[in-house]
Amino acid sequence: MRISELSRETGVSIASIKYYLREGLLPAGTALGARQSDYGNEHVTRLRLIRALVDVVGLPIAKVKRIFELIDEPGDDIFATLGQAVDSLPPYTTDGEADAVDYPRARAVIERLGWTYDPRYAGTAQLERSIAAIDGTGIPMSDARLDAYASAARQVAEFDISRMPQADAAPAAAIEYAVLGTALYEPVLVALRRLAHQDITARSLAGDDES
Amino acid sequence: MRISELSRETGVSIASIKYYLREGLLPAGTALGARQSDYGNEHVTRLRLIRALVDVVGLPIAKVKRIFELIDEPGDDIFATLGQAVDSLPPYTTDGEADAVDYPRARAVIERLGWTYDPRYAGTAQLERSIAAIDGTGIPMSDARLDAYASAARQVAEFDISRMPQADAAPAAAIEYAVLGTALYEPVLVALRRLAHQDITARSLAGDDES
């Protein structure tokens, strides 16, 4: 299809498509002459993903490029590739040499839970920072609370993974799922927690009034 | 105690204490003369909370002031006050006239769950925005996924509320708990979800290798 049809098909303006082509986010089409190119379904798919990552998730172009590199060349270690793709999402860890860094608070929590501990993944640094922030208030997080949170987080993760495309058969789809699923569903989870707080509090106060 | 002792007791520098006094975050002490004031335990408590909200959570001063106003004058409707305090946290909703706004996506989800629906609370606008973002990718969130997330979020919220100070007996403590608990524990929950993804994926790939 021509660029005008690609634009109609995806709802992305021709100017935006040209921008993504210039930035190297969208592969060039097949040249039909000096001024025209032919685009295929792979361009439609890629444009939808660009749209989601740039406009909806708000990722910087450089991070989106990195994710596409991983999709286009996932390599043999798909587990590591999935980790790298998700690590392209905020919040970003600032320590460049994660290999050399220990995360004592996160390690203690993860080891107690019996989960995999890998300091190279952004999740480890995120947990370390969030627990350090809590410790900074002078009221550490209790083991009971951590266990309750871990159990809930694991339930969500089990659901997520059960719906993930097979990473070995369809690595590109699995990477796309992991990245979008992480970026888009986290805000839903925290919004639902706040709404559940309200609902539970409202019910308990209503109960108080009746007693 | 004098300002120097208040500083030693809390680990907050005298310069910072003076700044918080000027900004109206910390109530003035009892004047002992033209240049000296006496501070009490309520100043120690308030300083620890300022520290947590400003330095750890990173709230702007104006939002911290708003929370202290609610703590100092919680009013009769403690449920509404708790909601307003939590709404002082990011992410902020930009629509000034929430009363007039309908949130169709959030409402559909909340009504299906049978929870309280109140468009005035930030959680509702947050859910609306996060679901709209997902819809923007062209792949809507399934009811099965929403239910799995809601169930996990509610488990966490049940735990949170079970540990909350009694709102009618100790409104200030309840507001403090709600604000700090929302701001500080959300990052833990999402970090644990990412770590659970890794753990589950690592285990399933290890299982694949063995088969």
Min Cα–Cα distance to chain A from B22, Å: 23
Mean pLDDT computed over B65-78 = 91
ipTM of the complex in this document: 0.87
Residues of chain B numbered 52-81 and touching chain A (CB < 8 Å): 52, 55-57, 78-79
C-alpha B62: how far from chain center = 15
Strand runs labelled E in chain A: 30-31, 37-38
- Which of B129, B139, B157 has the CB atom closest to A197's CB atom? B157
Q: Across the interface, do A115 and B57 touch by the CB < 8 Å criterion?
A: no
Of the residues A141, A201, A203, A211, the best mutation for testing chain B's interface (the one with the most B CB atoms within 10 Å of its CB) is A201
The per-residue pLDDT for B189 is 96
- Which of A130, A139, A198 has the CB atom closest to B188's CB atom? A130
d(CA B150, CA A197): 12
Mean pLDDT computed over B75-89 = 90
Residues of chain A numbered 144-183 and touching chain B (CB < 8 Å): 144-146, 148-161, 163, 167-168, 178, 180, 182
The per-residue pLDDT for A18 is 95
Q: Residue A56: closest CA among chain B residues belongs to which residue?
A: B133
- B90 touching A (Cβ < 8 Å): no
Token couple for A15: 């100017």
- B32 touching A (Cβ < 8 Å): no
pLDDT tens, B99-108? Answer: 567 899 999 9
d(CA A21, CA A59): 17
Mean pLDDT computed over B11-29 = 93
- Architecture per CATH, domain A1-56, reads as Orthogonal Bundle (1.10)
pLDDT tens, B130-145? Answer: 998 898 887 889 999 9
Q: Which of A187, A142, A185 is nearest to B160 (CA)?
A: A142
Q: Residue with structure tokens 């169709």?
A: B104
d(CA A92, CA A137): 23
DSSP A55: I
Q: Residue with structure tokens 């449920």?
A: B79
* pLDDT beneath 70: ranges in chain A: 93-100, 207-211
Residues of chain A numbered 110-149 and touching chain B (CB < 8 Å): 110, 115-116, 118, 121-124, 126-127, 129-131, 133-134, 136-139, 141, 144-146, 148-149
Q: How many helices (H) and strands (E) does chain A have?
A: 9, 2
Q: Across the interface, do B137 and A198 touch by the CB < 8 Å criterion?
A: no
Q: Which of B187, B137, B57 is nearest to A51 (CA)?
A: B137
The per-residue pLDDT for B211 is 43
Backbone torsions φ then ψ of B37, nearest 5 degrees: -135, 160
Domain boundaries, chain A: 1-56, 57-210
The per-residue pLDDT for B93 is 66
Strand runs labelled E in A19-71: 30-31, 37-38
A201 contacts in chain B (CB < 8 Å) = 79, 82, 161, 167
d(CA B73, CA B8): 29
The per-residue pLDDT for B95 is 55
Q: Across the interface, do A152 and B148 touch by the CB < 8 Å criterion?
A: no
Min Cα–Cα distance to chain A from B82, Å: 9
- Residue B16's contacts (CB-CB under 8 Å, 6 or more residues apart) are none
- What is the rounded average pLDDT for all residues in chain B? 89
Using DSSP bridges, classify how beta strands A37-38 and B30-31 pair: parallel, antiparallel or unpaired. Answer: unpaired
The per-residue pLDDT for A208 is 57
Of the residues A59, A168, A190, A205, the best mutation for testing chain B's interface (the one with the most B CB atoms within 10 Å of its CB) is A190
The per-residue pLDDT for A210 is 46
Q: Residue A81: closest CA among chain B residues belongs to which residue?
A: B198
Question: Are A190 and B151 spatial neighbours (Cβ–Cβ below 8 Å)?
Answer: no
Of the residues A189, A203, A204, the best mutation for testing chain B's interface (the one with the most B CB atoms within 10 Å of its CB) is A189
Percent of chain B predicted with pLDDT > 70: 94
d(CA B202, CA B148): 22
Mean pLDDT computed over B34-40 = 91
- B22 touching A (Cβ < 8 Å): no
The per-residue pLDDT for A52 is 87
Min Cα–Cα distance to chain A from B31, Å: 29
The per-residue pLDDT for A91 is 80
d(CA A182, CA B191): 10
B46 contacts in chain A (CB < 8 Å) = none
Token couple for B120: 């005035």
Q: Is the pLDDT of residue B128 over 50?
A: yes
d(CA B105, CA B95): 16
